[in-house]
């Protein structure tokens, strides 16, 4: 099933149906996002903030005291239903929660207070700090268990803190890399635009028509490359599909022509990942085919239609065709015999990519580029 992406004139109206990795953009600005991934991120951020209330010791003390007193209340309430030998059953959760939320220091304090409560209220002889029989053994096991709990939680929180620091450092490095990458792209694009402007200025001093036309053509190519250079690469290194690459490219070519009556449609039958090494040659070839259609196919016409068709050609090849409904090719036309430097450059670039480029006429004039996937 084909996906058509039409536009007319300015490039600003292109992106109503573009894909997005963050969600699917619908009409009137509504967006469907992945709530499960968002909740996972929120959980990670919460764990990285532990222990909480580090700068508010009074709040931490109040919360820990509440947990300890609540544990004592539960133990007293459950005492008639519990057999002998469970003095610490409700105090372990209080110690673990105190350590988890407020850190090992407050966890140790909670463990100490809970130990005294258990010793005084629930270890015989009751309501006394005296120890008889196996009381020492029970108390020793309590100390061992809460110590292990507190140490494990402390190590986990230290590991979380280190991971958070590493993640923050990586985020800053990624931001710096992206900033430098965008600055480099900006400077390269500006330099190409400046070179195109210098050629345009130089044209004013040339009286020969052929020389002026050559300078015009060179200036146009440099200007176009300058406009699309920011779209060729991604700072994250993510692989782009050919369709994602062709959409803004074709829009720039139409916009650069200044021909508001030219309509362009992209039809995608089977997309493919774009090889980064093929990005610049592909851009130049498609731009040259479209510019040739606009300049020669629609000569003396205010309106026209260009169709860019993308499909697989077998298992290992991808086919890009630029079709127009213009005047057509003259009889006996061939790229080799043509005096068009742009078409010869397109054929040469296609050969460098181990592909082919041809220009022929059926019901419409068609420029066909076949490349390895």
Residue 298's CATH number: 3.30.565.10
Question: Which of these three, 185, 215, 238, is where a domain ends?
Answer: 238
**98, burial (CB in 10 Å: exposed 0-12, middle 13-18, buried 19+):** buried
* 220 and 336, same domain (yes or no): no
Listed residues 238, 256, 289: the one ending a domain: 238
| 202 within domain boundaries | yes
Say yes or no: 135 and 280 in one domain.
no
**185 and 125 together in one domain:** yes
Supply the range of the domain harboring residue 192: 34-238
Q: Please state whether the predicted TM-score (pTM) of the whole model is above 0.85.
A: no
For the chain, how far is it from start to end, CA to CA, in angstroms? 20
Looking at the structure, tell me whether residues 76 and 219 fall in a common domain. Answer: yes
The reply to whether 15 falls in a domain is yes
CA gap 139, 123 in Å, rounded: 9
The residues facing 361 across adjacent strands are 365
**Is position 29 within any domain?**
no
Q: Is the pLDDT of residue 23 over 80?
A: no
> Is the domain of 270 the same as that of 214?
no
| 40 and 9 inside one domain | no
| pLDDT value of position 4 | 47
- 219 and 355: one domain? no
- Among 209, 238, 267, identify where a domain stops: 238
**pLDDT for 51:** 84
Q: What is the pLDDT of residue 362?
A: 81
| pLDDT one-digit tens code per residue, 39-51 | 655 666 777 777 8
Q: How many domains in the chain?
A: 2
Same domain, 209 and 137: yes
259 and 324 share one domain: yes
Q: For residues 156 and 128, state if they share a domain.
A: yes
Q: d(Cα 373, Cα 371) in Å, to the nearest integer?
A: 6
What are the tens digits of pLDDT across the range 120-174? 888 888 888 887 777 788 888 899 999 999 999 999 888 888 888 888 899 888 8
Question: Which pLDDT score, from 0 to 100, does residue 68 have?
Answer: 94
Residue of 276, 266, 293 whose CA lies nearest to 353: 276
pLDDT at 26: 33
Host H or E run for residue 165: helix 135-203
Average pLDDT over residues 238-248: 78
Judge if 75 and 202 occupy the same domain.
yes
pLDDT at 228: 66
Please check whether residues 234 and 290 belong to one and the same domain: no
**Interval 322-370: pLDDT, tens:** 999 888 888 778 887 777 778 888 889 889 888 999 988 888 889 999 9
């Amino acid at each position: 099933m084909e996906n058509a992406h039409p536009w007319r004139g300015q490039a600003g109206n292109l992106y109503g149906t573009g894909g997005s990795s963050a969600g699917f953009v619908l009409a009137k600005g509504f967006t469907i996002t992945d709530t499960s991934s968002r909740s996972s991120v929120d959980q990670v951020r919460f764990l990285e903030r532990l222990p909480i209330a580090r700068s508010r010791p009074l709040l931490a003390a109040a919360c820990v005291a509440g947990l300890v007193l609540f544990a004592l209340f539960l133990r007293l309430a459950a005492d008639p239903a519990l057999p002998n030998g469970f003095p610490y059953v409700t105090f372990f959760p209080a110690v673990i929660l105190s350590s988890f939320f407020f850190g090992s220091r407050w966890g140790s304090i909670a463990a100490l207070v809970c130990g005294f409560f258990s010793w005084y209220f629930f270890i015989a002889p009751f309501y006394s700090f005296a120890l008889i029989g196996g009381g020492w053994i029970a108390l020793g096991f309590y100390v061992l268990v809460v110590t292990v709990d507190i140490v494990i939680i402390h190590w986990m929180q230290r590991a979380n803190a280190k991971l958070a620091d590493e993640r923050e450092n990586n985020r800053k490095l990624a931001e710096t890399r992206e900033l430098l990458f965008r600055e480099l792209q900006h400077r390269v694009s500006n330099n190409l635009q400046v070179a195109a402007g210098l050629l345009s200025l130089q044209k004013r001093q040339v009286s020969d028509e052929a020389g002026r036309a050559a300078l015009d053509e060179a200036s146009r190519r440099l200007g176009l490359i300058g406009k699309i250079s920011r779209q060729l690469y991604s700072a994250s290194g993510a692989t782009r599909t050919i369709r994602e690459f062709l959409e803004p490219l074709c829009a720039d070519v139409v916009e650069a022509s200044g021909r508001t009556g030219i309509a362009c449609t992209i039809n995608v039958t089977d997309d493919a990942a774009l090889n980064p090494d093929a990005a610049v040659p592909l851009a130049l070839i498609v731009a040259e085919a479209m510019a040739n259609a606009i300049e020669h196919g629609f000569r003396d016409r205010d309106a026209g239609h260009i169709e860019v068709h993308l499909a697989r050609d077998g298992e290992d090849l991808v086919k890009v065709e630029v079709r127009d409904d213009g005047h057509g090719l003259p009889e006996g036309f061939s790229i080799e015999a043509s005096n068009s430097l742009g078409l010869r450059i397109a054929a040469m670039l296609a050969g460098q990519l181990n592909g082919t480029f041809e220009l022929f006429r059926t019901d419409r004039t068609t420029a066909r580029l076949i490349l390895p996937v």
